[in-house]
Amino acid sequence: MSFRSGFVTIIGRPNAGKSTLLNALAGEKLAIVSPKPQTTRNRVLGVIHVPKKKGRPGAQIVLIDTPGVHRPGSSLGRKMMSEVREALNGCDLALIITDAAKKSDDAGEFLLDVVKGTKTPAFLLLNKIDLLRGEKRQLLPLIEKYSKLRDFREVIPISARKREGLDLLLDKVIHALPEGPHYFPEGQITDQPARFMVSELIREQVLFATSEEVPHSTTVMIEQFEEGAKLTRIAAVIYCEREGQKRILIGHRGEVLKKIGTAARIEIERMLGTKVFLELFVKVRQNWRESRGFVEELDWRRQLEHLVTAEHKENSG
């Protein structure tokens, strides 16, 4: 049996458990997870290296976690949905994931359209079965609804959080993949730069510490990132859209910001394996979500381009 590899996109509504599944399969925290919809704003890539075993070839699965599928209402939303379409086009397999424990499955026309509209081979994953308490019959209407839209190669009940059904899923995914090369070197598990993952870990703590419109109105930009052998110095700006939100983020006597900073620092230290000195600032940038230029600036792929161009200028000037 020869080596299998391919790109596998995880698609679903906000909160279905896409990022939880990515982290569970990758065995590492690559994407931040929260109970709030639209936690994931960018495409997140996780590389899973699967050793060969009896009856199964070795494989490399390049998993792509996407922002939840929703009807976009802003520049940020449009950017998120174009990330979804881009990830879906040209991948080898799509994992359509739904929250099977939700009373009314509001799949959203938008998701159904996306599912219907692609010819990419797909699995249907019924997630959160740990919440069903054995009442698997509840799954039948869901399966019926989705099966009307298109053919699914497999329908697999899972619990991403409790890691149920994931071995079976992994086996099925590998068998659905074509023979292929190692796309990434052994040992590489993501394409996200540490700098970006740091900004995500800070944003995750903002999501936990705030509510209502504040999480959606917030974004994080890293201003300083100096990695030393023992200590990493990081300065980051949390952008929000209004003065009132800034007051909430800072809190009485700076308590909220302090809590965010401490919790984020612990997570960042765990990821980087060094001590971290973290400085956080809060700034207002009105309607940043509507600003195409700013939304583009937040994209780490764009930021990388800037870094490369700046270095190039320095070297040549």
Ligand X SMILES: Nc1nc2c(ncn2[C@@H]2O[C@H](COP(=O)(O)OP(=O)(O)O)[C@@H](O)[C@H]2O)c(=O)[nH]1
Shortest CB 14 distance to ligand X, Å:
5
53-92 positions binding ligand X, by CB under 6 A: 68
Shortest CB 183 distance to ligand X, Å:
23
Q: Which amino acid is at 138?
A: Q
- Per CB under 5 A, 19 contacts Mg ion: yes
- Residue 158, number of CB atoms within 10 A of its CB: 24
- Per CB under 6 A, 39 contacts ligand X: yes
Q: Which two tokens stand for residue 235?
A: 């300065």
With CB under 6 A as the contact rule, which of the stretches 122-130, 177-185, 280-288, 295-303 interacts with ligand X?
Answer: 122-130
- With CB under 6 A as the rule, give the number of residues binding ligand X: 21
- Per CB under 5 A, 40 contacts Mg ion: yes
- Per CB under 6 A, 14 contacts ligand X: yes
- Per CB under 5 A, 210 contacts Mg ion: no
Binds 131: which of ligand X, Mg ion, none (CB < 5-8 Å by kind): ligand X
Q: Which two tokens stand for residue 201?
A: 């870990």
Binds 127: which of ligand X, Mg ion, none (CB < 5-8 Å by kind): ligand X
Alpha-carbon distance of 167 to 146, in angstroms, equals: 23
Shortest CB 181 distance to Mg ion, Å:
28
Binds 14: which of Mg ion, ligand X, none (CB < 5-8 Å by kind): ligand X
| DSSP 8-state assignment for residue 100 | T
Contact in structure between 70 and 32 (CB atoms under 8 Å): no
- Per CB under 5 A, 23 contacts Mg ion: no
Q: Which two tokens stand for residue 278?
A: 């973290």
Shortest CB 8 distance to ligand X, Å:
15
Alpha-carbon distance of 165 to 149, in angstroms, equals: 24
Closest CA to 99 of 124, 134, 64, 65: 124
- Per CB under 6 A, 16 contacts ligand X: yes
Q: Which residue is nearest to ligand X (CB)?
A: 17
With CB under 6 A as the contact rule, which of the stretches 71-79, 124-132, 212-220, 271-279 interacts with ligand X?
Answer: 124-132
- Per CB under 6 A, 51 contacts ligand X: no
Alpha-carbon distance of 309 to 164, in angstroms, equals: 46
Q: How buried is 230 (Cβ within 10 angstroms: 0-12 exposed, 13-18 middle, 19+ buried)? A: exposed
Closest CA to 207 of 123, 98, 199: 199
| DSSP 8-state assignment for residue 230 | S
Q: How buried is 97 (Cβ within 10 angstroms: 0-12 exposed, 13-18 middle, 19+ buried)? A: buried
- The residue ranges that bind Mg ion (CB under 5 A) are 18-19, 39-40
- The residue ranges that bind ligand X (CB under 6 A) are 12, 14-20, 33-35, 39-40, 68, 127-128, 130-131, 159-161
